[in-house]
Amino acid sequence: MSNSIYTQYPPDLDSQQEAFLIQTVKNWTVEHALTVRPSAAIVPTEFNSGNTLATNAPVTLFPSPFPESCFEQARGLQQIYNELYAAIASDEQWLETVMKELIEVDDFLANLWKIHLDVKREGYVQDMTLGLFRSDYMLHTPEDGPQSLRQVEFNTISSSFGGLSCRVAEMHTHLATYPSPQHPVAYPPHPLFSNSKETRIKTTGRPPVNAAVSTLTAGLAAAHQAYGPSKSSPQLPTCVLFIVQDTERNVFDQLALSSFLHKEHGIPSFRLPTSKITTYTTVASPPTRPLIYTPPTDKSTQYEVTVVYYRALYAPTEYTDAQTWNARHWLERSAAIKCPSILLHLAGSKKVQQVLTSKPPGPDHLKSFLPKQTDSTLESLRSTFAPQYSLSSSDPAVPAEGIKLALDAATAANHVLKPQREGGGNNIYRTNIPAFLKSIPESQWKQYILMELIHPPKDAKNFALRSDGAAALDNVISELGIFGTCLWKKTPGGKTAEILHNTEGGYLLRTKSKESDEGGVAAGFSSLDSVILY
Ligand code: ADP
Ligand code: MG
Ligand code: MG
């Protein structure tokens, strides 16, 4: 199907239909906890437990069209991506070579690396690692070539929105089937919502079921089981610990996982804000170093933590003092399985993603990390990479090519400059790149990578309903995330991973105004969306 699908979508709404749809969405989101905490309502209290206010998460009124072949390609690659990142995080030497230059100029990465070295010196007491991953893509749609799937980035820490994205797919399905005063269903008729054989368009008519919650929780449960019984004496009950931000707004996304973990797996979990880690946990003495959690409200019951699941501590701004760095070190040296370990956190750097794009005659990292995969699988993986360049003047593979592209306004216009950061709002775009680079010392340039821009379809439109209740039809860009989980054990003394659990399941579609370069929902740029496959 041509891009004309986008010019006729979504269907027109008159003011009555729009008002009905918005009201229905507002009610549905609150009814089903497709919600976030309103920013003004956060009063930092002990664990924020006194705050029960919620408002709708930013959502689109309609699902967005997405080609089924690209959706299936992304799903098909996920377990291979999981395996790739397990292999990278297990090869400390390789990672060190990549990180070396960055550490010289980036204090945040240097501090993380130092924690790893300190724990290594003392001796790690846990050889398993859990990854809850999300691989993000856009639909590259060049004027003069075929449409293809291109990876924006691969997330190895705090990959969020699995909980809420399941609910968006349910909400859009509800709207496609629920009666309205104006139409048999809340959506006006459109060929994409019809799975009748008579329509020209081949479509499923509904968003596919989203399995993100069951997939991510199964990953946590697999790690919890693999940890085994308590190592303490006397033995303690075990639990999973969610490390969260003190002023987290995306609470309901996280609660979707902890509730499911309890209901379907019978595993207790607790939420611990970063500022309280050292108050409510202890690392028991050698040799096994179990992590003990004492709930603040019931000091008589202690738990041993099997899995530390980070939904925080991915950004330098969260490390407000030495105590927070202490806390990260504390958790890393414990026996709990970390999701992610420091090495896996670092494996998710944009720099690693740039280095992976190298191919013969340069080093073929994909082949060496995935020796058992066929050439055609590796080619499919590689086809999702956008061209990326190092900005290090000492890069032997492509000396200074990235620097040349970044400094010339004409070539910079088709690129984005990325630092080694997560969470949105950190990149420099297009013609701002040359002036930005010139404003900082040349010795700092190597902490960035340069990436060619992905060009998503031009004519896409959707309605977005923001958390403050405003709704607008806009030209939009969508980013697809595919969730995957992987649990592995480092081979003794070796640098490879023995995979214990590797799954794909669930997706996130985030849709933002075309005018906005950045894409985070939490950062306030995007709305949660679902796909309608064609
Ligand atoms: P973060 O880890 O902060 O989310 P990303 O690499 O995902 O960093 O970049 C943030 C946003 O910038 C993305 O969600 C996307 O909207 C935009 N972006 C990043 N890389 C590209 C690219 N190559 N082409 C177009 N947009 C991009
Ligand atoms: Mg990221
Ligand atoms: Mg991102």
Summarised one tens digit per residue, pLDDT across range 178-190 is 888 877 888 988 8
Q: Is 418 in the pocket of ligand 1 (CB under 6 A)?
A: yes
pLDDT at 337 over 80: yes
**Does the N-terminal peptide bond of residue 189 adopt cis geometry, omega within 30 degrees of 0?**
no
133 vs 6: which has the higher pLDDT: 133
Query: What is the whole-number distance in angstroms between the Cα of residue 153 and the centre of ligand 3?
Result: 6
Measured CA angle at 153 (ends 242, 375), to 5 deg:
115
Q: Which pLDDT score is estimated for 49?
A: 52
pLDDT at 467 over 90: no
- Please identify which residue in the block is written with the tokens 């900005």: 391
Question: How far is residue 490's CA from residue 182's CA, in Å, rounded to a whole number?
Answer: 59
Question: Per-residue pLDDT averaged across 171-176, rounded?
Answer: 94
Convert 10-26 to b/e letters by CB count within 10 Å (16 or more is b): beebeeebeebbbebbb
> Helix (H, G, I), strand (E, B), or coil: what is residue 349?
coil
Assigned token pair, 34: 């497709």
Catalytic residues: 134, 153, 155, 160, 350, 418, 422-423, 510
Question: How far is residue 70's CA from residue 384's CA, in Å, rounded to a whole number?
Answer: 10
Question: Per-residue pLDDT averaged across 227-256, rounded?
Answer: 95
Looking from the CA of residue 153, the nearest atom of ligand 1 is 6
Query: What is the whole-number distance in angstroms between the Cα of residue 122 and the centre of ligand 2?
Result: 31
pLDDT at 416 over 70: yes
Residues 476/513, Cβ–Cβ less than 8 Å: yes
pLDDT at 399 over 80: no
What is the ipTM metric for this complex?
Answer: 0.99
| DSSP code, position 138 | E
Q: Is 10 in the pocket of ligand 1 (CB under 6 A)?
A: no
Question: How far is residue 179's CA from residue 317's CA, in Å, rounded to a whole number?
Answer: 47
Q: Which of 36-50, 91-105, 240-254 has the lowest mean pLDDT?
A: 36-50
Question: Per-residue pLDDT averaged across 443-459, rounded?
Answer: 96
Nearest residue (by CA) to ligand 1, atom 22, is 453
Question: Per-residue pLDDT averaged across 361-386, rounded?
Answer: 96
Query: Residue 355: what are its φ and ψ, rounded to 5°?
Result: -65, -35
> Helix (H, G, I), strand (E, B), or coil: what is residue 127?
coil
Question: Per-residue pLDDT averaged across 318-347, rounded?
Answer: 97
451 a known binding residue? yes
Name the CA radius of gyration of the chain, rounded. Answer: 23
In testing the pocket of ligand 1, which one of 384, 448, 511, 518 has its CB within 8 Å of the most ligand atoms? 518
pLDDT at 1 over 50: no
pLDDT tens digits, 206-225:
899 999 999 999 999 999 99
Q: Is 451 in the pocket of ligand 1 (CB under 6 A)?
A: yes
Question: Per-residue pLDDT averaged across 415-425, rounded?
Answer: 95
> Helix (H, G, I), strand (E, B), or coil: what is residue 241?
strand
Q: Which pLDDT score is estimated for 251?
A: 94
Q: Which pLDDT score is estimated for 48?
A: 55
Q: Which pLDDT score is estimated for 2?
A: 46
User: What are the chain's domains?
Assistant: 4-386+454-533 (no CATH), 387-453 (3.30.1490.50)
Percent of residues in the chain assigned helix, strand, coil, to nearest 5: 40, 25, 40
Q: Is 332 in the pocket of ligand 1 (CB under 6 A)?
A: no
The pLDDT confidence band at residue 496, using thresholds 50, 70 and 90, is confident
Beta bridge partners of 56: 35
Question: Per-residue pLDDT averaged across 139-163, rounded?
Answer: 96
> Helix (H, G, I), strand (E, B), or coil: what is residue 432?
helix
18 vs 198: which has the higher pLDDT: 18
Question: What residues sit around ligand 3, an ion, with C-beta below 5 angstroms?
Answer: 153
510 a known binding residue? yes
Q: Which of 54-58, 240-244, 391-395 has the lowest mean pLDDT?
A: 391-395
Q: Which pLDDT score is estimated for 200?
A: 47
314 a known binding residue? yes
Residues 460/532, Cβ–Cβ less than 8 Å: no
Q: Which pLDDT score is estimated for 396?
A: 58
pLDDT at 105 over 70: yes
Q: Which pLDDT score is estimated for 378?
A: 97
75 a known binding residue? no
Question: How far is residue 229's CA from residue 303's CA, in Å, rounded to a whole number?
Answer: 11
Q: Which pLDDT score is estimated for 524?
A: 67
Question: Per-residue pLDDT averaged across 374-403, rounded?
Answer: 88
Looking from the CA of residue 386, the nearest atom of ligand 1 is 23
pLDDT at 196 over 70: no
pLDDT at 516 over 90: no
With a CB cutoff of 8 Å and minimum separation 6, the contacts of 392 are: 101, 445, 446
In testing the pocket of ligand 1, which one of 155, 160, 414, 427 has its CB within 8 Å of the most ligand atoms? 427
pLDDT at 50 over 90: no
Q: Which pLDDT score is estimated for 294?
A: 96
Q: Which pLDDT score is estimated for 393?
A: 77
Q: Is 386 in the pocket of ligand 1 (CB under 6 A)?
A: yes
In testing the pocket of ligand 1, which one of 138, 148, 151, 152 has its CB within 8 Å of the most ligand atoms? 152
Query: What is the whole-number distance in angstroms between the Cα of residue 152 and the centre of ligand 1?
Result: 6
- Average pLDDT for the chain: 92
The pLDDT confidence band at residue 470, using thresholds 50, 70 and 90, is confident
pLDDT at 389 over 90: yes
Query: What is the whole-number distance in angstroms between the Cα of residue 477 and the centre of ligand 3?
Result: 14
